[in-house]
Amino acid sequence: MTDSIMSKAATMEIPINSNGDTGTLPEDDSLEQAAKLQWSLGEKVGSPRGTRDLQQVMVSGPNLNETSIVSGGYGGTAEGIIPTSSIKDLRMKARRSSVPTGTSVTCHINQPHEYQGSNMHHSSSSSSMTAEEATKGVAVEKIEQMKKWGLNTYKCTKQMISERFGRGSRTVDLELEAQIEVLRDTKRKYENVLRLARALTNHFYNMVQTQHALGDTFADLSQKSPELRDEFGYNAETQKLLCKNGETLLGAINFFVSSINTLVNKTMEDTLMTIKMYENARLEFDAYRSDLEELSMGPRDAVTMARIDTAQQQYQVHKDKYERLRSDVIIKLKFLEENKVKVMHKQLLLFHNAISAYFAGNQQQLEQTLKQFNIKLRPPGADKPSWLEEQ
């Protein structure tokens, strides 16, 4: 019985490392128990107490039928797993060959984990290097953009100061500059017309509301004053008629204000934005032109010639940009003038006819004017929010 137990102890010691060499696995409790059992057999073999300790260890130890010994790292292949059936086979071989006491059975298993680990490390390092290179590329690009922006700002500021103090020369298109100045003056005058038209609309709206309230008051008094029923009734009808004609005139004036607002704050403003871009391009063009002229007046060594070539390229780029925007400004000014004439011709005719018909008391002509210009009046109470919107 002692030989059988010793054979079992010999088969339980299966030390394996990741390279297939003989070693110990501190993570495996069954191997630790086998080592302790081997030491116990070497020291106390043959004694009854030693036999009892061996039996107790075998009873309290792990059940080899339900466990497996795993060697290698996490995520390895199936070659690093020793099922219980292989342990049973080793045990049977040990019994047949009568392995002496204290002999350990070594199992060599080829593990590809180091190769897989190196591949994973190489791929992760490659991906990190790629991300780092991309980050460096973005940073370098931003630095170059900031450098170009700073250099361009410096040149333009220098040119602006030189022009303001009369030291530098600037490119001037007299005809185009005159048209731009006329447009800015026209815009200021049209803004004044728009401001006055809005003031007229507000005052006239208050008058219409007053007439409406006065008509309701006259109608109420005509019901409560029998001796003045007719007089109050006439005035109530007159105020209601004036209120109706006033609302019609308000529709015409609102259409006039809306059209002028579109012309001033959208059409003219769009053209002025293009003019602003043109003026900035003109400043950049003169700045790079002055820079090229200064370099051309200096010595002609190799370094200076390279700088002159670069300045010549920048000068040509900004010259093309300046000429393109100049052409855009000329075209927009032409179309703006045509559009302004058409819009103002229609709106001034509408304003004149509506005002004349209203103060002449010609209700039919006033309504005809709105139909002529396709103006639809909003129904009473349309400006007020619904009860759902008020909630």
Alpha carbon distance 126, 318 (integer Å): 43
Q: Which residue has the tokens 């006819």?
A: 353
pLDDT value of position 91: 54
Q: How many helices (H) and strands (E) would you count in the chain?
A: 11, 2
Quick one: which of 80, 135, 103 has its CA closest to 12? 103
Mean pLDDT of the chain: 74
Q: For the CA atoms of 224, 229, 234, 236, what is the dihedral angle to 10 degrees?
A: 0
Count CA atoms closer than 13 A to 328's CA, side-chain side: 17
Q: Does the structure show a pLDDT above 80 at 293?
A: yes
Q: How confident is the model over 251-270, as a mean pLDDT?
A: 94
Cβ atoms of 72 and 111 closer than 8 Å: yes
Q: Give 81's DSSP letter.
A: E
- Between 129 and 289, the more confident residue is 289
Amino acid identity, position 368: Q
Name the band, by pLDDT with cuts 50, 70 and 90, for residue 274: very high
Q: Does the structure show a pLDDT above 60 at 305?
A: yes
For residue 385, report the phi and psi dihedrals to the nearest 5 degrees: -70, 155
- Among the residue ranges 83-92, 274-283, 369-378, the one predicted with the least confidence is 83-92
pLDDT value of position 317: 92
For residue 327, report the phi and psi dihedrals to the nearest 5 degrees: -65, -40
Run of H or E including 200: helix 174-224
- Between 23 and 329, the more confident residue is 329
pLDDT value of position 217: 93
pLDDT value of position 311: 86
Name the band, by pLDDT with cuts 50, 70 and 90, for residue 363: confident
Q: Does the structure show a pLDDT above 70 at 195?
A: yes
Quick one: which of 6, 36, 14, 2 has its CA closest to 100? 6
Taking the alpha carbons at both ends of the chain, their separation in whole angstroms is 95
Q: Does the structure show a pLDDT above 50 at 63?
A: no
Greatest extent of the chain over all pairs of C-alpha atoms, in Å: 143
pLDDT value of position 374: 83
Q: How confident is the model over 195-201, as a mean pLDDT?
A: 96
Q: Does the structure show a pLDDT above 90 at 72?
A: no
Q: How confident is the model over 338-364, as a mean pLDDT?
A: 93
Q: Does the structure show a pLDDT above 50 at 39?
A: no
pLDDT value of position 133: 76
For residue 82, report the phi and psi dihedrals to the nearest 5 degrees: -105, 105
pLDDT value of position 41: 44
pLDDT value of position 113: 46
- Among the residue ranges 8-22, 160-174, 293-307, the one predicted with the least confidence is 8-22
- Among the residue ranges 5-19, 165-179, 243-257, 274-288, the one predicted with the least confidence is 5-19
Q: How confident is the model over 297-301, as a mean pLDDT?
A: 79
Alpha carbon distance 202, 173 (integer Å): 44
Cβ atoms of 96 and 3 closer than 8 Å: no
Tell me what percent of the residues of the chain surpass a pLDDT of 90: 37
pLDDT value of position 350: 93
Q: Does the structure show a pLDDT above 80 at 383?
A: no
Residue 241: count other Cβ atoms within 10 Å of its Cβ. 14
Q: Determine the angle formed by the axes of helices 269-296 and 174-224, rounding to 10 degrees.
A: 160
Q: Which residue has the tokens 């060959």?
A: 97
Sequence length of the chain is: 391
pLDDT value of position 115: 44
Name the band, by pLDDT with cuts 50, 70 and 90, for residue 265: very high
Structure tokens at 8: 């079992």
Alpha carbon distance 272, 279 (integer Å): 10
Count CA atoms closer than 13 A to 69's CA, side-chain side: 26
DSSP 334-345: HHHHHHHHHHHH
pLDDT value of position 96: 52
pLDDT value of position 16: 43
Name the band, by pLDDT with cuts 50, 70 and 90, for residue 42: very low
Residue 82 zone, left/alpha/beta (φ > 0; ψ -120 to 50; rest): beta
